[in-house]
Structure 1
Amino acid sequence: MPISRIPSGIKGLDSLVEGGFPAPSVILISGTAGSGKTTFAFQFLMEGAKKGEKGLYISTLSERTEWMLRFMSNYEFFDPKYLEDGTIIYEDIGKDLGTLDNMKLIIRINEILAEHVPQRIVIDPINVVNNFVDNYRQFLFELVTLLKNWSAVSILTGEIKEGEKYPEDVGYTADGIISLLMKTEDNVIKRYIQILKMRGTAHSMALHPLDITSNGIEVLKARF
């Protein structure tokens, strides 16, 4: 039986993953600060919204919606009407961190999912939760199981430090891992993307140049 897939919304990426992300699945997008993780996530949500798919963006940072809208509005792919009409829902669980234990936090996320029944989900960033739960790996297992039970395609963003490939605890549970890289070459910072893991998918493992412009993220022809 062929695997159902949905388009990522990232120009040049779907051809590297047999046409799109497996559905359902949980995909980790990892990278250092400024590598484009949140931009990737919103491009993914906007792609679904344009097709009439409900999207859910869960922030763990307690950032005001207005701040996010101000930064994202610089991109041509971003259309605020989808947040205004409820096609994309913005939820903040940052205020719940530190007050809810592992299971209560999972229950809170499940309540959000049940209320909105999204087809595309983003949790940005997931690493922050590690500072507030007793057993992070167990929490991730419960979270990923929950997300898959809703038959959605979910993106978890994970910030890494220089020299790290991806957050291993998150990568262990995820169906796919995509790394956004920034390398200094001839005193110029250049961007790359690499697909490290994608279950059920014959995917490229090459380093592909990445461009971020007013149009958003675009994957260019492989260099290696």
Structure 2
Amino acid sequence: MQHQTGPPGPETSVVDLGPAVAEEAPQPGGLAELVSALFATTRAVTVERVGLSAYVVHLPGPRGVSGTQLRAVGAVQLTYAERAARAIETAVSANRDAPARVLLVGHGEGGAVALDVAAMAESQLFDVDRIVTVGAAGAFVPRVPAQARMLCLEERTDLGALLGSVVNAGAGNRLTVVFDGGDSATAAERYVAGARLADASDHPDLVRAIEDLRELSYLS
């Protein structure tokens, strides 16, 4: 009889690690830190727990920074919005602090998907009460629920920003902030710089919007 001389094979073929828990993260100090964290994330959906029943969800786009398209394992293919909603529910369930409040932060297509999650996600585990978008062409679409206040940060050269500022002019739950991007090489650099301008602004509407995020524990 031959005896196996190599390393033993695995005893199991499936390892169940249980539900994922949201990353515990400190509250960002302002919009600049919030936007910086958005561009720093490498995954298409990142859920961070910043306080009791308070979550910040980063949506940089379906490919994230890694450039890898989101894929669902199995026969059912989920949309980006569906995967985002499920990731939030999984995190909230794991922490057992439902019903949770959620701030969605999205860039580009991630910003448009943030609107979809806010408008269409029907969950007993969480409610989207705040949205921040940067460079999101779909941010001007008037489909955000009235209870979800929205802050849109856009470069002046972006046509979507100009359309958004016109459409949102009469909306009480949306504020569009337009800035000059300057000569920064990357979108991340431009939008972080724009967010710094917003943090330093004394415009009463913007001051009120940022203070609102602090009062809800999304910012410190």
Normalised to the residue count of structure 1, the TM-score between the two structures is 0.36
Q: Which has the larger share of helix? A: 2
Report the structure, 1 or 2, having the larger strand content. 1
